[in-house]
A and B are shown apart, each in its own frame.
Chain A
Amino acid sequence: MFEEEEKKLEQWKKSIDQVEMPMEKLNDAVRNGFEKAKNERTLKKRIIKKRSVWSLVIAAILLISFVTSISVSPTFAKTVAAIPGMDRVVALIKQDKGLNAAVENDFYQPLNLSQEKNGITVTLDGVIADRKGIIVFYSVHSEEVDLSSLYLKYYELWSGMQPQYRVKINRTIMPLTPKKGMDFFSMYEQIDRVRLKEDLSWKVGVQYGDKIENFKIPFTYKPMDVESKDIFVNKEVTIEGQRITVKMLIVDPVRTTVILEENHKNSKKLLSSRAFDELKLVDEKGRTWSAMTGNSYKSSPEGHVWEIPLQESFYFHDPEKLTLSFGKITAMDKEEAYILIDTESEKIIKEPSESIFSNLQVKDGKASFSINSENGIYNFFKFVDADGKEFAIHYKEYGPAAYPSYYVEGRNIKISENETKFEFEIPTAPFTNPIRLDINQYPSWIEEEVEVEIK
């Protein structure tokens, strides 16, 4: 039927088959791609761990932080050279098809504002912003200092005299870049769910030796004026007896968020920020949009509505068909989702049947116990004493405490690959044993092959 067309295609294939193979360069290309992915993976892992917990102080934030070294081809660099800093931005967002599309559709606003202090220059390269959030691209540059000896201490977004968003990095665990001999490094932060007003400034603290250089770069921008392409779904599914409704998808140029609601009669508790880590959407072409891990979010601990941001937005891709699947959902029996301890007798009174907690100790005004799990951080956000009095637990990494009532300091100490010690201050205010800590993270899952047709 189509012999002639097929013949032409065959010939076309043959002619391409005859193209010479630059074998050595090809080997290098594979190796470079692999190295880049590997470097990034180790970096990203550390970042996600550090930030995988809800912050009660700034509950309504969303974080994505990608760190990558810069490698653009000379030809491509030339075409974007017209806009200062654009090459860096393009290199940074290469792996995000959503942001890529946003840039291609001219939603990137170059700013190129720099501040120099003691040989270190911080540049605010530009932003992509809509009405719901902003992505800030910035870079650090120095002719005098090797960037592997610099540490990012904090970054903040200010509106007028108020910080709207701040992330503090307490320990100097990670230099700007692990690579020696770099004089340039770019990053970006996606900041959602903050109200952005006038008089914005981007603030960054860079540590060099014992000194912290503070940079503050004021800027203005225009949010892109586009409509969301929201998809209403409202379909209920049952996974191992637990009912979950897919409410809708909020589709904006720079982010897509899946809204789910758990039935309040469910017997299981869905567990915190990692609950929907394996959720994903697949379109008719097999393109996949995965949930941003560690970012499942409920606006209040008692609520039932979840927001799951995807790693990339499909706003500009307009898939014809979309299917959602859940994968493993972290969940445990509601009745078991707490640990009851007595700080006087130093005993764990009640814990989940498959326990990972042990070794409760009280020493120097602090209580601690071991958590045996490779999954690291199991932050507890509060404890409740026998009389129902609540004490919030505050973690220094997440900025200053802003609690109305009592609070104590808590922290996680990594003992080994499979063991973490959780420690919190015993309050000076009176309280009655035993005390109860609600579990927000646990190695327990529900899983069932369920798919939801989104479109």
Chain B
Amino acid sequence: MGERKMVEKAIKGDEEAFLELLHCYQEALYRTAISYLKNEGDALEAVQEVTYRAYRNIKTVKEPAYFKTWLIRIMMNYCQDALKKSKREVPKDRITSMQSVSEDFTFLEVEEALGSLSDYERELLHLKYFEDVKIKDIAVMWNTPEGTIKTRLHKALRALRTSFEEKGEMKRV
């Protein structure tokens, strides 16, 4: 069955179609969760919660073609909230394998820079570079002109650059 067909069935209340779709995207959801939350336990909890929210709100999916992105956005919203909440908490065990991937690149640097962006900017970068969603599609989904999305994307990248530079300067000092 085509994905579109399946999403349409899920919207109409077909539970099997819904479950199949979710299993199909669970890895993407988990990756997104990991990219924000950094540890397995929280990420799994996030996937559970997002499945729950998706089921409750399935009727609000307007365009079946964007179903995956719709899920990812629920996940990002959840993660942003979870991060705000966790500011009060003690840091948790992070997944260490992520930090030693490449020597000429510091994972922490990017992560810290991303953390300094607004929710909106981070969401935008995530969709564009993590999920490879086209600017054109983001524009349609957010009901915003393409030009505006591009401007905001540039603004976000510039903010990222500033953050990298500040970091560099601190190192030199």
Contact = CB atoms under 8 A, between A and B. Distances in A.
A79 B107 contact: no
Interface of B: 15, 18-19, 22-23, 26-27, 30-31, 34-35, 40-42, 44-45, 47-57, 60, 73, 77, 81, 84-85, 88-90, 92, 95, 97-98, 101-102, 105, 107, 109-111, 119-120, 123, 125, 129-130, 141-144, 154, 157-158, 160-161, 164
Contact of A19 (B54, B95, B154): B95
A5 B164 contact: yes
Interface string A1-43: 1101110111111111111111001110111111011101100
A5 B26 contact: no
Interface of A: 1-2, 4-6, 8-22, 25-27, 29-34, 36-38, 40-41, 73-76, 79, 94-95, 97, 100, 104, 284-288
Which of A26, A41, A285 has the largest count of B CB atoms less than 10 A from its CB? Answer: A26
Contacts of A25: 40, 44
Contacts of B142: 284-286
B26 A12 contact: no
A11 B102 contact: yes
A16 B52 contact: no
A9 B22 contact: no
B97 A18 contact: yes
Contact of A8 (B55, B90, B144, B164): B164
Contact of B51 (A1, A11, A34): A34
Contacts of A11: 101-102, 105, 110
B84 A95 contact: no
Contact of A26 (B44, B88, B141, B154): B44
Nearest to B128: A9
Given A37-B51, A74-B41, A287-B77, 11 more contacts: A1-B154, A16-B130, A21-B27, A26-B44, A30-B26, A33-B47, A34-B15, A34-B22, A75-B42, A285-B123, A286-B141
A29 B40 contact: no
A2 B154 contact: yes
Contacts of B55: 33-34, 37-38, 41
A6 B48 CA distance: 31
B129 A13 contact: yes
A29 B97 contact: no
